[in-house]
Every structure is written in structure tokens, then in C-alpha cells.
Amino acid sequence: MHVRRYAPLVGYVSKGNTIEVLESHERLIVRLSLGTQLFILLACALFGPVMTLVIWLRPAMPLFVKLLSGALIIAAWILLFYTLFTRPRLEIGRGDIKYFRRGNKATRTIPRDRIAQVTVDEDAYTTGPIRSVNHVIVVHTSDGEAIALCASPNFQLIDSITRALTKSTDR
């Protein structure tokens, strides 16, 4: 069985749930969960500063190790500060889907009239013997584009988001 691989706008295909849903006045907000964001921050905070100290305290390293470590350290610091100041989210309201990478300015908007179909597909997270099926909400646009919105192993959560999205886009 072939399972299509997705890179959702919000959340990750993983063993656990990485999104949370908030309902507010006339809109549904799907965002990266606080636990997921804290995990990324912790991993980057440990890797970036710890590796920086290792490189500074152990100067007798081969040049290629320093360069490779330096590139990874820079990436960890960038991801640390990026994650610290951002929390990606989707806002579904009045038929439009707005994606916010950070702040209050929408990075991407999918208008109601471009949405042709909303489906729930499956993607699998596999690590060793563990295989976790994730459900991915995919919006198919009138021009043939398939946009993965969010993913979760919790089908009830994905189903509730899909129903709200379908209800909001009904013409």
C-alpha cells in the first residue's frame, strides 16, 4: 500500500498530536500545540548553546568537524529564535482559509471560490517497529493544487476541523 507523504502547513505527521484547535467568534483557529513548540525550543536550546560551548572549549578539532558543527549550530540557533517568535496557525472563517506563519499578517489565503474539495487523506509516521497513521486535511483548489493544511493521529479532531471547514465553505 502506497501512502502519500505530506508536509502540512500547521503541525507535523508524527506519533502524537502536534496541533490544537481553538474556536472563537465565527472562526476556527488551528495552530501548533504549545507542547510541540516547547519541545522544538528545548531541543534547539540544548543543541545550539551546548554545541557552541563544545566548539569553544575544545579548539583542537579538525577543520571539517568545526565547519560541519558550525553549520549545524547556526541552523539550531536560527530555528531556536524562529520558533521562539512564531507559532504557525490557520484561521478558518467565512469560507476563507488564512495561513499565518507568524504575526497577524496572513502569509497565504485560500478564498472560498478557489476551494473545490476538502478531503482527509492518510499519512504514516514510522520509526522502527512503530507505525502511526495520521489523518491529513487536504484542500483541493479549482486549479488542481492540493494543499495539506494540518495532520494528526486523532481522527475525531481532524473530523471536527473538516466538518467546520466544509460548513464554512458551503455556498
For 26-51, write each residue's pLDDT tens digit: 888 898 888 888 888 888 888 888 88
The 8-class DSSP code of residue 101 comes to S
Span 1-19, pLDDT tens digits: 445 667 888 888 888 888 8
Above pLDDT 90, what percent of the chain? 4
Distance from C-alpha of 168 to C-alpha of 171, rounded to nearest angstrom: 8
What is the C-alpha to C-alpha distance for residues 159 and 150, in angstroms, rounded to an integer?
Answer: 12
- Residue spans of the domains in the chain: they are 19-32+90-169, 37-85
Amino acid letter for position 26:
E
Q: At what angle do helices 63-85 and 34-57 cross, to 10 degrees?
A: 150
For 120-141, write each residue's pLDDT tens digit.
988 877 777 877 788 889 999 9
Residue whose C-alpha is closest to residue 108's, from 68, 148, 78 = 148
